[in-house]
Structure 1
Amino acid sequence: MAVCVAVIAKENYPLFIKTIPTDNELKFYYTVHTSLDVVEEKISSVGKNTNDMRELYLGLLYPTEDYKVYGYVTNTKVKFVIIMESSNTNLRDNEIRSMFRKLHGAYSDMLCNPFYTPGENITSRSFEEVVLAMMQQD
């Protein structure tokens, strides 16, 4: 089950962060913020190896004692970060990829809304419903 889902703009400011209700939500914000360094490092290392034929899914960015942080970058450099519980050992890599594909699809659908200005905070109810469904899976 995802405990935090974040969408980060190309300029590294958060467009959307949703966490499970807890007394320490600030910890998730800090974890998302620190994961951006790893995302940038992975993007720059992949960009040197191939001619812009990079994989959007970045995989496991780093594990902590309680959580695993996964990353995904769109072609427009918008970053998705999902934080999962470390205790969830039956979750496979292809399931994480599927979650990111759903999130990317919901983001693309939200961008098609003519009333949304790219770069603003995401307030779409349909996008939030997709995120909440990811957070309630088990």
Structure 2
Amino acid sequence: MTTPSIACIGIIGKHDNPLHIALFPPHTNHPSAHLEFSFLLNASLDIFDARARDRNRVDQDLGMLQAVDERLSIWGWETGTGTRFAVVVDAWGKAGNKGLRGIADGDLRGAFKALQTAYIRLLQNPFYVPDEHTPMAVASGRVNGGQITSKRFVEEVRRIGKVWRPGMSVV
């Protein structure tokens, strides 16, 4: 039986703008993978919005947002400031073999907490200006693309995606 792995991590700004997208093996080998996962993350935004309207929800962990197919599922976490973390889990794992070990609610909590900690550290950096990553700043031409380029943040997201396993409480 294979162990599920993270296929993609998406950091989405409060204006529904993609701030960072990281892909993980074996999904990095396909030439159009980045575009395909961008579409999946974009499609999950409506579900984020629907869950945000649920006023009874106090937990940041939104659980599984949608099952894309028998292999991929999208899980969500929303910060108090509206930044969203989406993790696409590959149930077949890195080997790509069918062997379904289920993912339970809470299995991604450690990964989401680690992502939020990395994002908070990014915001504490005096040289990082979050307003430069809004759609308005990108449209005005003040910045190029609006993506997070901090090496430390990108490396930490990559580390989280590589080491995560179902049930890990600390990543």
Short-chain TM bin: 0.7 to 0.9
Instruction: Determine whether 1:72 maps to 2:111.
Output: no
* Counterpart for residue 37 of structure 1: 46
* Counterpart for residue 90 of structure 2: 85
- Structure richer in helix, relative to its length: 1
* Counterpart for residue 111 of structure 1: 123
* Counterpart for residue 22 of structure 1: 29
Alpha-carbon distance, 1:134 to partner:
2.2
Q: State the structure with more CA Rg.
A: 2
**Residues 63 and 77 of structure 2 are in contact (CA less than 8 Å); yes or no, is this contact kept in structure 1?**
yes
The residue type equivalent to 2:113 in the other structure is R
User: Which secondary structure state, in structure 2, belongs to the residue aligned with residue 16 of structure 1?
Assistant: strand
Of the structure 1 ranges 75-84 and 22-31, higher mean CA displacement relative to structure 2 is found in 22-31
**Residues 80 and 100 of structure 1 are in contact (CA less than 8 Å); yes or no, is this contact kept in structure 2?**
yes
Aligned with residue 125 of structure 1, among 138, 142, 151: 151
What is the number of equivalent residue pairs in this alignment? 133
For structure 1, the 5+ residue unaligned runs are none
User: Which secondary structure state, in structure 1, belongs to the residue aligned with residue 130 of structure 2?
Assistant: coil
**Residues 16 and 45 of structure 2 are in contact (CA less than 8 Å); yes or no, is this contact kept in structure 1?**
yes
The residue type equivalent to 2:75 in the other structure is Y
User: Which secondary structure state, in structure 2, belongs to the residue aligned with residue 69 of structure 1?
Assistant: strand
**Residues 2 and 134 of structure 1 are in contact (CA less than 8 Å); yes or no, is this contact kept in structure 2?**
no
Of the structure 1 ranges 108-117 and 91-100, higher mean CA displacement relative to structure 2 is found in 91-100
The residue type equivalent to 1:118 in the other structure is P
**Residues 63 and 106 of structure 2 are in contact (CA less than 8 Å); yes or no, is this contact kept in structure 1?**
no
- Structure richer in strand, relative to its length: 1
After the TM superposition, list the runs of 4 or more consecutive aligned residues in structure 1 that deviate by more than 6 angstroms.
none
Alpha-carbon distance, 1:109 to partner:
0.3
User: Which secondary structure state, in structure 1, belongs to the residue aligned with residue 37 of structure 2?
Assistant: helix
Alpha-carbon distance, 1:90 to partner:
5.3
- Partners of 1:11 and 1:5 lie apart in 2 by 18
User: Which secondary structure state, in structure 1, belongs to the residue aligned with residue 107 of structure 2?
Assistant: helix
Give the TM-score of the pair, scaled to structure 2. 0.72
Instruction: Determine whether 1:135 maps to 2:161.
Output: yes
Give the TM-score of the pair, scaled to structure 1. 0.88
Instruction: Determine whether 1:102 maps to 2:114.
Output: yes
- Partners of 1:96 and 1:116 lie apart in 2 by 27
- Partners of 2:125 and 2:18 lie apart in 1 by 19
